């Protein structure tokens, strides 16, 4: 077995036993990236040589007695909307094609403190607006399970890189499902942490009241390792929680006995593929057999979530992206004869259609005479959605839903566009509105393509999510089905 086929915790064990070196690890993943990247499109910037030099220095330090962390020498990729000092951060947009931050995001600093090795910046839907990986201004990303299908988005490169064996771990960001949905479509574990658990300092802001950085990994234990490294209070983020971070590894138990699990019937409606339903029901059966109490419940305001998300989200987007004007930030049209024309051309040429549509919607919703009717009403709907979660999680330890109503669909599928594309996040958006943690776990294959089940928990109760996910992972045994050799 090649090193790139191993998980981060397996690599750590071999490194601790001195059976491999950091150079061995980095060389294996670097070769894998060089072999597969032309077809996959996961990376926007690849740091192969820099990573190799860092690996050599780490090996010297380890030989000199440097203590290992759980992530020492482990290659990690960073979604390209997370700032990296001295390294381009483009958000996969022409607008920021030449933007080089002067500081690292807090999560990047934390990974560096763990002696992980940053292999590069990963592709995404432009400014994190999209659910397919096709809306990057640079190139589309493809699904390693089937190169003719989408990997999901917006953390498309993060998911494709980990699923294909280019990386053992990656960071994504999740505003309405952008970690969990590609995790489901690519057969990975992907977590949206509780809002405030992970610092957003250095994450390029779009929808600040909902977005968070989250890990993508091949199994639950690796997801735990990455969250452990990046979680915790950050004084540079005013929304950062001051609660102590528990040892998440202590939650990895195969016992689900006594857990109370709610199954919201509203998540099993129109648009859910039959194969997805079958696999989710199998998960529920496994939980019951393990001693969990599983019960159907109702969360009546689920149908409000999509409308609330887009009214609130686009309004925040229009405000946050106002700085992308060719003056303060980003691409500037140099041929304009006056200031207004410069603004119009710079934004029109520098931003893609999906970004422009959301920005215009946000301007409309927040405009004179419409703010109360749209944005404020969206906030009220958000409160109703959150109250549904509060009521459900007061009685149940976990909620179980599909992650995506569909398995990965074909690239350039004209049937999945407009409102249909927006509805692909219908199962993931409510957790962002409520700020609760949610994890996507691969639960089987449908037609040879991965399907994910979503586990939603109480705020800051990631340990219970990990407990159930780890127990299910042992029984589902999904990791054996990885597409590690399918990308030539």
Could you list the active site residues? 79, 154, 178
Q: Could you tell me if 257 and 291 are in contact, meaning their C-beta atoms sit under 8 angstroms apart?
A: yes
Distance separating the N- and C-terminal Cα atoms of the chain: 16
408 is written with which tokens? Answer: 């990965």
Euclidean distance between CA atoms 245 and 115, whole angstroms: 20
Euclidean distance between CA atoms 122 and 182, whole angstroms: 13
Euclidean distance between CA atoms 260 and 246, whole angstroms: 22
Axis-axis angle for helices 274-289, 462-476 (nearest 10): 100
Nearest CA among 174, 163, 157, 168 for reference residue 214:
174
Cis peptide before 154 (omega within 30 of 0): yes
Residue ranges with strand state E in 287-396: 293-297
Q: Go through the chain and tell me how many residues it has.
A: 488
Bridge pairing between strands 75-79 and 438-446: unpaired
**Which residues, in sequence order, are bridge partners of residue 294?**
261
* Contacting residues for 223 by C-beta, under 8 A, at least 6 apart: 189, 190, 191, 215, 216, 217, 439, 466
Residue with tokens 């990236």: 33
Outline where 366-487 has alpha helix (H): 377-395, 419-422, 429-434, 462-476
* Contacting residues for 286 by C-beta, under 8 A, at least 6 apart: 472, 475, 476
Bridge pairing between strands 398-402 and 260-264: parallel
């Amino acid at each position: 077995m090649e090193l790139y086929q191993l998980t981060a915790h397996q690599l750590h064990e071999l490194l601790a036993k001195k059976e491999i070196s950091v150079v061995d690890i980095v060389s294996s993943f670097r070769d894998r990236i060089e072999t597969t990247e032309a077809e996959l499109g996961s990376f926007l910037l690849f740091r192969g040589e820099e990573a190799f030099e860092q690996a050599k220095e780490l090996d010297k330090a380890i030989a000199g007695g440097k203590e290992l962390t759980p992530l020492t020498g482990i290659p990690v990729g960073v979604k390209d909307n997370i700032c990296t000092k001295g390294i381009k951060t483009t958000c996969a947009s022409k607008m920021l094609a030449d933007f080089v931050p002067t500081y690292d995001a807090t999560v990047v600093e934390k990974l560096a403190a763990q002696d992980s090795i940053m292999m590069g910046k990963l592709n995404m839907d432009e400014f994190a607006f999209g659910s397919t990986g096709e809306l990057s201004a640079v190139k589309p990303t493809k699904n390693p399970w089937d190169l003719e299908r989408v990997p999901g988005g917006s953390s498309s490169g993060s998911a494709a890189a980990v699923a294909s064996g280019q990386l053992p771990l990656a960071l994504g960001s999740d505003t309405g499902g952008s970690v969990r949905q590609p995790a489901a479509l690519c057969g990975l574990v992907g977590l949206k942490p509780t809002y405030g658990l992970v610092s957003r300092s250095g994450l390029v802001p779009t929808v600040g009241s909902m977005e968070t950085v989250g890990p993508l990994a091949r199994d639950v234990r690796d997801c735990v390792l990455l969250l452990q490294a990046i979680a915790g209070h950050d004084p540079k983020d005013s929304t950062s929680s001051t609660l102590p971070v528990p040892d998440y590894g202590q939650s990895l138990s195969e016992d689900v006995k006594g857990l109370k699990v709610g199954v919201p019937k509203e998540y099993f409606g129109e648009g859910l593929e039959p194969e997805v339903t079958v696999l989710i029901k199998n998960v529920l059966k496994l939980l019951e057999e393990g001693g969990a109490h599983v019960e159907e419940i109702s969360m009546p305001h689920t149908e409000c979530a999509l409308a609330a998300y887009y009214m609130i989200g686009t309004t925040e987007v229009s405000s946050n992206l106002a700085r992308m004007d060719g003056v303060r930030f980003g691409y500037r049209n140099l041929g304009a004869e006056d200031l207004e024309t410069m603004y119009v051309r710079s934004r029109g040429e520098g931003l893609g259609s999906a970004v422009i549509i959301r920005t215009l919607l946000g301007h409309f919703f927040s405009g004179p005479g419409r703010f109360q009717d749209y944005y404020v009403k969206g906030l009220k709907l958000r409160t109703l959605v959150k109250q549904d979660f509060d009521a459900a999680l007061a009685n149940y330890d976990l909620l179980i839903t599909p992650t995506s109503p569909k398995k990965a669909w074909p690239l350039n599928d004209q049937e999945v566009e407009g409102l249909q594309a927006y509805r692909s996040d219908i199962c993931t958006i409510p957790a962002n509105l409520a700020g609760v943690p949610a994890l996507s776990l691969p639960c089987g294959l449908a037609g040879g393509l991965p399907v994910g089940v979503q586990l939603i928990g109480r705020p800051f109760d990631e340990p219970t999510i990990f407990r159930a996910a780890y127990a299910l992972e042992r029984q589902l045994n999904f990791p054996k089905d990885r597409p590690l050799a399918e990308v030539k």
